[in-house]
């Protein structure tokens, strides 16, 4: 009798969950030997060749090149006894169960269709049969008591709702398994355990509870929403933005710059021994240009003190850098940025970013800035209309640097193009000064040699 064995995709590097099939070296009908290379796969770590576990004849390939396969899913079926008497080609699971050898050994199928791997069990082979969720079979809408903006689809979604905003219900693995077995959607439950953890009792009572009375689909009971208290960085950011937007009259100006010379200078400096190991980013050049340009237009570095009825001009630049962190937006400062060389700025910015990313920026480090740069370019965005950091009079948005067509000496060339946007407080800064400052920053980035003239 032909004997069919399935080879499940192994975890080739400590804890990977999937891999992409690159190339098959065999096809159905080929005779294979033990350890013959049958397929090349690419994991998150490396491209790896997989050897064949058994000798025999290839019956079927279960995955196409380019396909991403989960660890534990069979990728090839091999007939390990092709010389045996002819028999109808039966699907391997049946064969494995029929001869009763399923013992949960690595690579073999368990009763229930799952394949054991070294790190637990792979997903079920074949069509996954999940029990329908009990609370999603909502009937068509009846009379609508309140007008709705747009009619929602009548049929309930067939797929369970995705995690809204990355929210994952808290439950221990045995409880998760119980919920899965009973067809209970953990997203629909409220945990009664400590810290909102869903307990075994919660799941069991959800099953015992009668099916909720069918409600019109557009009446949302809140189960698909998530309420998060406004606090911490979010609250501080909101307050600061409201204060700023409704106190300082904002004006925003834009400038598109050919920064190719700056990028060339950057490439040269990167190879210079003095800059070895320094992370020299376009932001560092921008920061240098900003502190240079504030010398010619000190207004952008000043503060409107309405209490004292004075404008405060400052002989120092505490440069704020808006940074996205896991905690939210923080704006740490580079103190006395105007006294720093380009290298010192680059190092300071790198340290600042590292500290901010780790969520270790001290509150004191976020106080008393004089002007801010927001680097929206790192998100691949061209430009924006930034809102001033309260107490400051200007904020510059640095956009993404892209290869774009640009007219150079009457010809279209491919150049490195970047957009700058400057928002300023019109109480302190007029269009003339704001434009002068933005043009200066642009000129310094377009031709860093201009710095010699400052």
Partner 1 sequence: MSSPEQWTHPEPDAAPAATAAKPTAEQVIAGLRATDEGGADLVQLLTPEGERVTHPDFDIDISAEELRGLYRDMVLIRRVDREANALQRKGQLGIWVPLLGQEAAQIGAGRAMRPTDMAFPSYREHGIAWTRGVHPTELLGIFRGTDQGTWDPVEKRFHPYTIVIGNQVLNAAGYAMGQKFDGKVGDDDGEATMVFFGDGATSQGDVHEGFVWAAVYDAPLVFFCQNNQWAISEPTERQSRLPLYQRARGYGFPGIRVDGNDVLATLAVTRWALDECRHGNGPILIEAFTYRMDAHTTSDDPTRYRLSDELELWKLKDPIERVKVYLVRQQWADQEFFAGVEAEADELAENLREFCVNMPDPPAQRIFSNVYAEGNPNLEAQRDEFLDYVSGFAGGEH
Shortest Cβ distance from residue 432 to partner 1 (Å)? 48
d(C-alpha 444, C-alpha 292), whole Å? 9
Under rule CB under 8 A, residue 359 binds partner 1: no
Residue among 17, 31, 46, 354 that touches partner 1 (CB under 8 A): 46
* Least Cβ distance, residue 50 to partner 1 (angstroms): 5
Q: Does 120 bind partner 1 (CB under 8 A)?
A: yes
Residues identified as active-site: 426
Contact 311, 301 (CB under 8 A): no
Among 22, 55, 119, 215, binds partner 1 (CB under 8 A): 119
**Which residues neighbour 65 within 8 Å (Cβ) at sequence distance 6 or greater?**
21, 22, 23, 24
360 binds partner 1 (CB under 8 A): no
Structure tokens at 424: 């300023």
Based on the number of CB atoms within 10 Å of its own CB, is 345 exposed (0-12), middle (13-18) or buried (19 or more)? buried
Angle, vertex CA 330, rays to CA 401 and CA 236, nearest 5: 135
* Site map 228..267 versus partner 1, x via CB under 8 A: ----------------------------------------
Interface region with partner 1, contact rule CB under 8 A, candidates 3-11, 231-239, 243-251, 377-385: 3-11
- 276 contributes a contact to partner 1 by CB under 8 A: yes
Count CB neighbours of 365 within 10 A: 18
Q: Is 106 in the site for partner 1 (CB under 8 A)?
A: yes
Q: By C-beta, is 231 or 276 nearer to partner 1?
A: 276
Residue 47 sits in the site that holds partner 1 (CB under 8 A): yes
Q: Which of 17, 31, 163, 177 binds partner 1 (CB under 8 A)?
A: 177
Q: Is the dihedral of CA 375, 380, 382, 386 positive or negative?
A: negative
Q: Of 2, 5, 6, 7, which one interacts with partner 1 (CB under 8 A)?
A: 7
Task: Answer yes or no whether residue 100 interacts with partner 1 by CB under 8 A.
Answer: no
Beta strands in 108-193 (DSSP E): 114-117, 120-124
Q: Could you give the count of Cα atoms lying within 13 Å of 407 in the half-sphere of its Cβ? A: 1
The least CB distance from residue 119 to partner 1, in Å, is 7
Q: Among 28, 51, 123, 139, which residue interacts with partner 1 (rule: CB under 8 A)?
A: 51
* Selected binder of partner 1 within 17, 31, 45, 154 (CB under 8 A): 45
Select from 159, 161, 147, 154 the least CA-distant residue to 216: 154
Q: Is 12 in the site for partner 1 (CB under 8 A)?
A: yes
Candidate ranges 49-57, 205-213, 235-243, 437-445; the one touching partner 1 (CB under 8 A): 49-57
Per-residue contact string for residues 14-43; x = within reach of partner 1 by CB under 8 A: x-------------------xx--------
Within 53-82, the residues that bind partner 1 by CB under 8 A are 53
Kindly report the three-state secondary structure assignment for every residue of 239-307. HHHHHHHHHCCEEEEEEEEECHHHHHHHHHHHCCHHHCCCCCCHHHHHHHHHHHHHHHCHHHHCEEECC
Asked whether position 123 contacts partner 1 by CB under 8 A, the answer is no
The answer to the question of residue 351 lying near partner 1 (CB under 8 A) is no
Separation of alpha carbons 207 and 108, rounded Å? 34
Residue 310 CA to its chain's centroid (Å) = 45
194 contacts 185 by C-beta, under 8 angstroms: no
As measured in angstroms, the least distance from the Cβ of 7 to partner 1 is 7
In Å, how far are 3, 4, 105, 249, 310 from 54, measured between CA atoms?
11, 11, 15, 75, 85
Closer of 107 and 384 to partner 1 (Cβ): 107
Judged by the rule CB under 8 A, the positions of this chain that interact with partner 1 are 7-14, 34-35, 45-51, 53, 104-107, 117-120, 172-174, 177-178, 181, 273, 276
């Amino acid at each position: 009798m032909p004997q069919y064995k399935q080879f499940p995709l192994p975890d080739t590097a400590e804890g990977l969950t999937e891999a992409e099939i690159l190339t098959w070296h065999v096809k159905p009908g080929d005779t294979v030997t033990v350890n013959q290379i049958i397929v090349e796969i690419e994991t998150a770590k490396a491209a790896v060749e997989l050897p064949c576990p058994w000798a025999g004849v290839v019956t079927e390939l279960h995955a196409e090149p380019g396909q991403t396969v989960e660890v534990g899913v069979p990728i090839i079926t091999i007939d390990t006894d092709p010389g045996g008497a002819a028999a109808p080609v039966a699907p391997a699971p049946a064969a494995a169960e029929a001869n009763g050898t399923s013992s949960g050994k690595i690579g073999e199928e368990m009763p229930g269709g799952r394949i054991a791997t070294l790190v637990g069990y792979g997903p079920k082979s074949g069509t996954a049969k999940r029990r329908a969720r009990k609370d999603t079979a909502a009937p068509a809408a009846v009379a609508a008591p309140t007008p709705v903006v747009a009619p929602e689809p009548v049929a309930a979604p067939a797929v369970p709702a995705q995690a809204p905003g990355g929210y994952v219900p808290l439950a221990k693995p045995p409880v998760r398994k119980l919920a899965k077995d009973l067809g209970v959607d953990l997203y629909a439950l409220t945990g009664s355990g400590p810290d909102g953890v869903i307990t075994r009792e919660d799941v069991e009572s959800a099953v015992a509870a009668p099916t909720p009375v069918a409600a019109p689909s557009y009446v949302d009971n809140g189960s698909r929403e998530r309420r998060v208290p406004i606090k911490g960085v979010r609250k501080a950011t909101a307050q600061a933005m409201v204060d700023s937007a409704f106190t300082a009259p904002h004006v925003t100006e834009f400038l598109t710059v050919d920064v190719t010379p700056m990028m060339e200078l950057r490439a040269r400096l990167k190879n210079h021994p003095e800059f070895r190991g320094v992370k020299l980013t376009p932001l560092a050049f921008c920061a240098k240009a900003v502190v240079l340009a504030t010398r010619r237009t000190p207004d952008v570095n000043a503060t409107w003190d309405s209490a004292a009825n004075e404008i405060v001009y400052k002989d120092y630049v505490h440069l704020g850098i808006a940074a996205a962190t896991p905690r939210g937006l923080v704006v740490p400062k580079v103190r006395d940025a105007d006294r720093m060389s380009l290298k010192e700025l680059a190092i300071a910015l790198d340290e600042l970013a590292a500290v901010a990313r780790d969520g270790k920026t001290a509150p004191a480090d976020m106080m008393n800035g004089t002007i801010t740069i927001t680097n929206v370019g790192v998100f691949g965005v061209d430009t924006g209309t930034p809102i001033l950091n309260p107490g400051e009079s200007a904020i510059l948005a640095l956009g993404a640097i892209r290869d774009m067509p640009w007219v150079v000496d009457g010809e279209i060339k491919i150049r490195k193009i970047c957009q700058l946007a400057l928002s300023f407080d019109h109480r302190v800064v007029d269009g003339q000064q704001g434009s002068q400052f933005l043009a200066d920053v642009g000129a310094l980035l377009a031709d860093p040699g201009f710095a010699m003239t400052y």
